């Protein structure tokens, strides 16, 4: 696949950048010695901070540059899914997100990370959605959003090109492209659970603007998995229900979600090693984790003929 | 000597190993020139635009092995526009007409089309070796042609090329009669691979010693291949991920154990830490290990692996190994000659994965270290001085501090003294790449001490023209000089114009050289091509005659006997 990198004047690919440490400096930082609160000010700062273009979403307050929660893109750890986890943390923490299509920021978010894309190219294929671009700063889960924000702002606004550094660091495009398309899943595995092994799989839900990832090893049975997924995707379901209120975390009860998931609305399916889409729940849990490659929360309407049985099966297992 | 019969002279020339020596003897007298050219089997063309293919082929009709390089080195980092040039077709066409006995072709940073590959495949009945490094412009269809028509193919080595995927059929194009493969490297391919064809191919090539697989090849297939080819010496795994509890995993480990000849491992695409133990049994024999495409393997697991690799001579790794891991390398790999530490996080400022400490540790533990590529977040003069003392045998020293112009974090000084120590101590240094905060002083040192230096890469360094002049005046053996984002201008460029004819090429981008300066250089030195690369947005007005005072964004100067090239795109002006 052609990489957006070649067009990326800062030699950045959103993929790699997202996958890399959250301490990424914007490429401008490599030249401008952007203050990195973690590493400390760098001596020969060219200080392009002042000229740095920032994200200014319509109707939004321009996020501050100083220490403290900036516009948070970032999350404690790098990688895409790490990002998503962070997002969830942010969600849990602040309860200010939502997909009900309410405020403008959400709409931006829903656009799938175009803000990250250099020169408008959507390099954000892998991390659909605003992974962590929680606009409302509030109590965004302590992430080093500083640099990422700067990067996003730099990346999102092409004319800053002159200040950015093409071809630095001197790494062959081949390597950049290859590393960029390395599934973050692996890195995550190690990051999250050193030495215990883990099994991250993508979870998609029909109608949701972005996917999530779960580590199957953290669950002992189907029930745990099911409730975890419910929590994760509750936001979407609320949206699906047509509510236009900004959902607070508190507005959502687990039992309600369970109903939705186990009801005729959705069916949980998975893709196994052979590429077939199977109903979750048929085989023993261990066998399932061995063969599951990804999960999909399918709309009941698409699982015609399966749903009722699924429901029964789910219920009987639970 | 002129009384020796020519056969004897030719026989003597056989003992001359290097191109340089052969080039030299050919200048002695006409007889020697003739003997040399007719007996020459291998030619190396460092710059494809330095000479016309016709001339090479005419002079060396007995040519069997040809190596040609195209784009300048900075093309690797996207500094050269895509269609700048470096086309292989003229070379292949000309060779097809003039040297039908060609057996080997090696191309680097060139544009290779499917058409050229097909022509290549059909034109040389004895064709044995094709090596393409960092090339682009071809697809798997071109590979299919090679597989189909090169009946005695021994080596197909594709390193880091951009290859368009048109399906997995190419591998099946090797006829059943093809049993001659010794080396097959398709690691850079991104598309699907037909596992069955691959297995059968491996099974019928008993001389196969090097095999590097692409990501699409599963560990299952690898296992079967290992079972069929336990005599492999150099292996690049495909995708290296499997549930470590599965039976397939144990099978692959057992098959690894059988590979007693395995000396080099690479690949490890998508490698998960839990799969690494599969290779533990053979670690003790490894002389080469490349884990630089396996970001999921973090320090702890790397250490466990490296502990077992006491014979390692070449190690390519990611910086997640950390200083701690490098200390383990220093303690374990006493035979280490080449170390490359790549950044897993490209943009720096992040977790200090490796610092000067790691490098110092390796230098003190591995006295044979001679080749280094090291990406780090910071470096100190003290560390470099220590490294220089510990390892006086460096031939290649490339240090990249990710933050340009970063000084010594301890003293806040530029790194002049550190690099100065390196060039002073390492008398055999042939290649050097600088980074960090540097003044003109470092160039003074380089000019003074780096006598054997052949290639120098400079970025964001220096204060004035003096810096560049020190280098041009001092480094007698300089062949390639590449400079970016440094304050060198016309005065430096024009200080010693004759120097450039002793070098292969000079690259300067984002420096202070003006168009006028380039024109002056071109006028004074007709033996050079002075190319100015001007990329313009369509929105910019095309100036009819840009001012001579205007700075040139990118300039590439090279010596040539071929005159200005005729395939230059619009944005390249040869002055």
Prediction ipTM score:
0.88
Who has greater pLDDT, A279 or B546? A279
Q: How confident is the model at residue A271 (pLDDT cuts 50, 70, 90)?
A: confident
Structure-block tokens of residue A208: 């949701």
Who has greater pLDDT, A56 or A180? A180
Strand partners, A177: none
Residue-range definition of the domain harbouring residue B522: 496-535+547-574
**Is the CB of residue B299 less than 8 Å away from at least one CB of chain A?**
no
**Is the CB of residue A5 less than 8 Å away from at least one CB of chain B?**
yes
**A6, A174, A186: residue with CB nearest B296:** A186
Under an 8 A CB cutoff, do B77 and A36 touch?
Answer: no
**pLDDT score, position B13:** 87
**pLDDT score, position B270:** 85
**Is the CB of residue B293 less than 8 Å away from at least one CB of chain A?**
yes
The reply to whether B436 falls in a domain is no
The reply to whether B515 falls in a domain is yes
The reply to whether B567 falls in a domain is yes
**pLDDT score, position A221:** 83
**pLDDT score, position B120:** 96
The pTM for the full model equals 0.69
Q: Tens digits of per-residue pLDDT, B79-103? A: 998 889 999 999 999 999 999 999 9
**pLDDT score, position B161:** 94
The reply to whether B478 falls in a domain is no
Q: How many domains does chain B have?
A: 2
The CA distance from B288 to the nearest CA of chain A, in Å, is: 19
Position A96 pLDDT exceeds 90: no
Q: Which residue of B has its CA nearest to A151?
A: B347
Structure-block tokens of residue B438: 């540097």
The reply to whether B453 falls in a domain is no
Position A254 pLDDT exceeds 80: no
Task: Specify the CATH number for the domain of residue B24.
Answer: 1.20.1280.50
Position A197 pLDDT exceeds 60: no
Q: How far apart are CA B421 and CA B427, in angstroms?
A: 11
**A167, A171, A187: residue with CB nearest B79:** A167
The reply to whether B49 falls in a domain is no
**pLDDT score, position A287:** 83
Percent of chain A with pLDDT over 70: 27
A246-266 average pLDDT score = 49
In the stretch 514-533 of chain B, residues with CB closer than 8 A to chain A read none
Q: How far apart are CA B252 and CA B246, in angstroms?
A: 10
Q: Tens digits of per-residue pLDDT, B23-79? A: 888 888 888 888 889 889 999 999 999 999 999 999 999 999 999 999 999 999 989
The reply to whether B6 falls in a domain is yes
Written in H, E and C, the secondary structure of B354-423 is: CCHHHHHHHHHHCCCCCEEEEEECCCCHHHHHHHHHHCCCCCEEEEEECCCCCCCCCCCCCCHHHHHHHH
Structure-block tokens of residue A209: 């603007």
Among A18-27, A226-235, B311-320, B379-388, the least confident range:
A18-27
Percent of chain A with pLDDT over 90: 1
**B160, B300, B375: residue with CB nearest A172:** B160
Position A264 pLDDT exceeds 80: no
**pLDDT score, position B215:** 92
Q: How confident is the model at residue A130 (pLDDT cuts 50, 70, 90)?
A: very low
Who has greater pLDDT, A60 or B449? B449
Kindly list the structural domains of chain A, giving each domain's residue range(s) and its CATH number in brackets, ordered by start: 200-237+252-299 (3.10.20.90)
Q: How far apart are CA B10 and CA B29, in angstroms?
A: 14
B221-245 average pLDDT score = 89
Residues B232, B233, B239, B243, CA torsion sign? positive
Position B413 pLDDT exceeds 80: yes
A260-276 average pLDDT score = 73
Q: How confident is the model at residue A57 (pLDDT cuts 50, 70, 90)?
A: very low
A80-93 average pLDDT score = 39
Position B543 pLDDT exceeds 90: no
The reply to whether B251 falls in a domain is no
């Amino acid at each position: 696949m052609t990489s957006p990198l070649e067009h990326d004047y800062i030699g950045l690919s959103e993929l790699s950048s997202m996958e890399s440490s959250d301490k990424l400096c914007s490429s401008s930082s490599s030249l401008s010695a952007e203050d990195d609160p973690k590493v400390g000010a760098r001596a020969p700062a060219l200080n392009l901070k002042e000229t740095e273009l920032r994200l200014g979403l319509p109707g939004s307050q321009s996020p501050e540059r100083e220490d403290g929660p900036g516009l948070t893109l970032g999350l404690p750890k790098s990688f895409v899914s790490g990002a998503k986890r962070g997002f969830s943390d942010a969600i849990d923490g602040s309860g200010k997100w939502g997909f009900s299509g309410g405020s403008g920021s959400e709409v931006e978010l829903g656009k799938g990370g175009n803000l990250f894309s250099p020169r408008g190219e959507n390099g954000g294929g892998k991390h659909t959605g605003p992974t962590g671009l929680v606009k409302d700063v509030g109590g965004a889960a302590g992430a080093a959003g500083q640099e990422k924000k700067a990067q996003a702002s730099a990346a999102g606004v092409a004319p800053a090109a002159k200040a950015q550094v093409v071809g630095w660091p001197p790494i062959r495009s081949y390597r950049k492209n290859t590393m960029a398309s390395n599934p973050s899943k692996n890195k995550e595995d190690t990051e999250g659970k050193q030495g215990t092994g883990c099994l991250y799989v993508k979870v998609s839900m029909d109608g949701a603007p972005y996917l999530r990832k779960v580590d199957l090893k953290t669950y002992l049975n189907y029930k745990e998995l099911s409730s975890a997924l419910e929590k994760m995707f509750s936001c979407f379901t609320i949206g699906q229900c047509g509510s236009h209120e900004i959902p607070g975390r508190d507005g959502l009860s687990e039992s309600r979600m369970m109903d939705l998931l186990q009801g005729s609305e959705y069916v949980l399916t998975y893709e196994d090693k052979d590429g077939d889409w199977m109903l979750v729940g048929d085989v023993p849990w261990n066998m399932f984790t061995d063969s599951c490659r990804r999960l999909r929360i399918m709309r009941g309407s698409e699982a015609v003929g399966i749903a009722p049985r699924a429901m029964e099966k789910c219920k009987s297992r639970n | 000597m002129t009384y020796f019969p020519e056969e004897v002279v030719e026989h003597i020339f056989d003992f001359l190993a290097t191109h340089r020596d052969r080039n030299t003897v050919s200048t002695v007298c006409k007889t020697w020139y003739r003997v040399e050219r007719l007996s020459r089997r291998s030619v190396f063309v460092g710059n494809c635009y330095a000479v016309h293919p016709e001339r090479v082929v005419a002079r060396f009709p007995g040519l069997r092995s040809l190596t040609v390089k195209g784009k300048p080195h900075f093309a690797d980092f996207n500094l050269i526009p895509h269609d700048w040039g470096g086309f292989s077709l003229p070379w292949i066409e000309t060779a097809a007409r003039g040297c039908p006995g060609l057996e080997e072709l090696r191309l680097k940073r060139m544009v290779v089309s499917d058409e050229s590959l097909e022509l290549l495949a059909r034109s040389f009945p004895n064709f044995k070796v094709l090596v393409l490094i960092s090339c682009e412009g071809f697809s798997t269809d071109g590979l299919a042609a090679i597989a189909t028509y090169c009946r005695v193919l021994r080596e197909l080595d594709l390193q880091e090329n951009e290859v368009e995927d048109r399906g997995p059929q190419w591998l099946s194009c090797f006829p059943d009669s093809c049993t001659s493969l010794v080396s097959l490297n398709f690691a850079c391919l991104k598309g699907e691979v037909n596992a069955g064809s691959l297995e059968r191919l491996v099974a019928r090539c008993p001389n196969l010693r090097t095999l590097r697989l692409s990501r699409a090849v599963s560990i299952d297939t690898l296992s079967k291949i290992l079972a069929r080819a336990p005599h492999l010496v150099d292996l690049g795994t495909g995708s290296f991920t499997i549930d470590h509890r599965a039976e397939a995993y144990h099978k692959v480990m057992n098959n690894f154990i059988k590979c007693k000849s395995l000396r080099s491992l690479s690949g490890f695409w998508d490698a998960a830490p839990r799969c690494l133990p599969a290779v533990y049994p053979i670690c003790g024999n490894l002389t080469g290990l490349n884990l630089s495409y396996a970001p999921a393997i973090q320090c702890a697991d790397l250490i466990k692996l490296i502990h077992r690799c006491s014979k390692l001579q070449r190690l390519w790794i990611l910086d997640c190994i950390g200083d701690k891991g490098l200390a383990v390398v220093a303690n374990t790999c006493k035979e280490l000659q080449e170390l490359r530490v790549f950044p897993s996080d490209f943009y720096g400022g992040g977790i200090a994965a490796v610092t000067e400490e790691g490098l110092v540790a390796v230098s003190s533990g591995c006295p044979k270290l001679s080749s280094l590529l090291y990406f780090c977040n910071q470096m100190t003069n003290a560390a470099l001085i220590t490294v220089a003392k510990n390892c006086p045998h460096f031939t290649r020293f490339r240090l990249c501090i990710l933050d340009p112009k970063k000084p010594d974090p301890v003293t806040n000084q530029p790194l002049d003294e550190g690099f100065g120590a390196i060039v002073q101590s390492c008398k055999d240094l042939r290649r050097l790449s600088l980074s960090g905060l540097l003044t003109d002083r470092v160039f003074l040192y380089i000019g003074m001490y780096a006598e054997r230096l052949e290639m120098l890469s400079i970025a964001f360094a220096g204060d004035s023209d003096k810096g560049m002049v020190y280098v041009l005046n001092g480094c007698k053996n300089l062949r390639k000089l590449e400079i970016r984002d440094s304050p060198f201008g016309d005065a430096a460029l024009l200080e010693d114009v004759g120097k450039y004819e002793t070098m292969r090429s000079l690259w300067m981008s984002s420096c202070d050289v003006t168009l006028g300066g380039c024109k002056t250089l071109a006028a004074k030195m007709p033996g050079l091509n002075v190319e100015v690369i001007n990329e313009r947005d369509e929105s910019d007005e095309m100036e009819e005659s840009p001012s001579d005072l205007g700075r040139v964004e990118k300039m590439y100067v090279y010596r040539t006997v071929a005159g200005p090239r005729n395939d230059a795109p619009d944005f390249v002006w040869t002055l």
